[in-house]
A and B are shown apart, each in its own frame.
Chain A
Amino acid sequence: MLATIGLEVHVQLQTHSKIFSGAATAYGAEPNAQACAVDLGMPGTLPVMNAEAVRLAIRLGLALGSTIAPRSVFARKNYFYPDLPKGYQISQFEAPILIGGGVDIRVGDTEKRIALTRAHLEEDAGKSVHDAFHRDSGIDLNRAGTPLLEIVSEPVIESATEAVAYLKALHTLVRWLGVSDGNMQEGSFRCDANVSVRRPGESLGTRAEIKNVNSFRFVEKAIDYEIERQIRLIESGGKVVQETRLYDAQRDETRSMRGKESAHDYRYFPDPDLPPLVLDAALIAAERDALPELPDARRQRYQSALGLTAYDATQLTQDRALSEAFEAVIAASGAPAKLCANWVLSEWQGALNAANLSIEQSPLSAARLGGLVARVHDGSLSSKMAKQAFEAMFAGTESADDVIARLGLKQVSDSGALGAHVDAVISEHPAQVAQFRAGNEKLLAFFVGQIMKRTQGQANPAQVTVLLRERLQ
């Protein structure tokens, strides 16, 4: 059996004010403190479109290779629910702002482009709270009117793994472009999945829609569960029915929420309050000119121009701030990209993860880290010393050179000074010298160890090895 998946992703656009009103969009405010008369659907109020939401949609559309519709139309999507006070959601239906485009994904060694159907602008609904009040539901309309871009993929995704790769690529892109903060816990990036299965050669099967899954892990589990359920159903002679299902993360299963017969009948029609959105070619051209280097292009450049591995290049282009920090470390250190990548991805990322900080919140700047990497590159510090210096720098505000001076971390690379230690160790261990000369190569590490002990770890191990070989041959 083959699975076919289409995804609908709701991306919350990063604006200060709502899509059709001047109320704030900040997350976590007191309930209803950011819901004005327009958001409450008060009679006599009229929506006025936020220019920034339009600009962000255009920016994402350009990055996705979509056609930016020169003319798009807002429509009313009618349904009754208490957190939708107007009785309709303003969305786009027949004429969306973005048409087509695609997202490149890689699963293992396979590359694939996931084609997009469309993306449309719309307003979010409010939030219902059911368990805090005795017999009532509480309604918080702070989220009502928050700008969303709903991105609809073609049904061309063939597994949960591909679905997650697509979502991650899209998530990276919206954050990269500043289109959305992509915060999944706060609902800034949510996903509905349409899943169907069929036998090879057959046309698309009946689909079930899984609503509102908001973590990559749950998307993967929900789709896998749903594919399994449909296959079992068909193989036991049953039939998949068109319905909406909810994923229950605690039980790891999907459950029917509403069937086709109670499906919404939205009765879309053009919103008479909002004339068509007509886009000026100059605005689109300006956005195109302002587009930054995109993550895919940057990943390829890191591999071809900087010689990084595919893994490192991918890691460094997951996040624009991280990628920019990496480039700042190269600029500040003058060290090879590979060495800088190692320091950024292992030590720095490790310390940030341990402290639960984002790269933007890092107490250590890329410039200071660059100073440290420069000292590793010029051989002043052994890797052990550098780690010690890194810890001191991460916790404080000193430069690399100040930390090195304060902790006395200078690596001894002077062959005259090291030569004296090498000679001393050779004369103190005649038996080991004889064994080494008889072919026991492993003893080299013993001699290096002895010299590190004498120099309290400050000898340059590479230099010591060279000197030892010279004298022992």
Chain B
Amino acid sequence: MSLQTSTLHHIAQLARLRIEPEHEAAMAAEMSAVLGLFEQLAKAPVDALEPLSHPGDPTLRLRADTVTELDARDDFERIAPSMMGGYYLVPKVIE
């Protein structure tokens, strides 16, 4: 399967990745190869099988509603790239 440039742009946008125009062709080829593997998988005969999202049939364990995590902001601040007044700072993004 070969990837259209428009699809490549859409995927890049969803992943918030900037792809330089000179890399687009190589990137499209690489992604097309990955999609080819999925096409191969899609050919496997699975009609008789139930969809399986959680192998082994586990069920969710619940915990009691108690506060167990104390304020560790100072610890996180030490590894945060940028912080001010208790806020983590990121480049301005307004939707």
Contacts and interface: CB of A to CB of B under 8 A. Distances in A.
Which range contains the number of A residues in contact with the other chain? Answer: 35 or more
Interface in B57-81: 58-69, 71-73, 76
Contact of B14 (A40, A53, A265): A265
A257 interface: yes
Given A54-B62, A275-B54, A275-B58, A33 B91 contact: no
Interface stretch (A137-145, A178-186, A322-330, A382-390): A137-145
A95 B10 CA distance: 28
Please report whether the interface of chain B is mostly helix, strand, loop or mixed according to DSSP: loop
Please report whether the interface of chain A is mostly helix, strand, loop or mixed according to DSSP: loop
Nearest to A80: B16
A434 to B, nearest CB: 80
B92 A135 contact: yes
Given A54-B62, A129-B87, A33 B73 contact: yes
A278 B60 contact: yes
B85 A136 contact: no
Nearest to A266: B14
Contacts of B65: 15-17, 50-53
B93 interface: yes
Nearest to B69: A36
A314 interface: no
A139 B68 contact: no
A136 B63 CA distance: 37
A69 to B, nearest CB: 13
Given A16-B66, A17-B67, A270-B54, A137 B90 contact: yes
Interface string A270-298: 10101111100000000000000000000
Given A52-B64, A136-B92, 11 more contacts: A16-B66, A22-B66, A30-B71, A49-B60, A49-B62, A80-B14, A82-B93, A130-B92, A141-B88, A276-B53, A276-B60
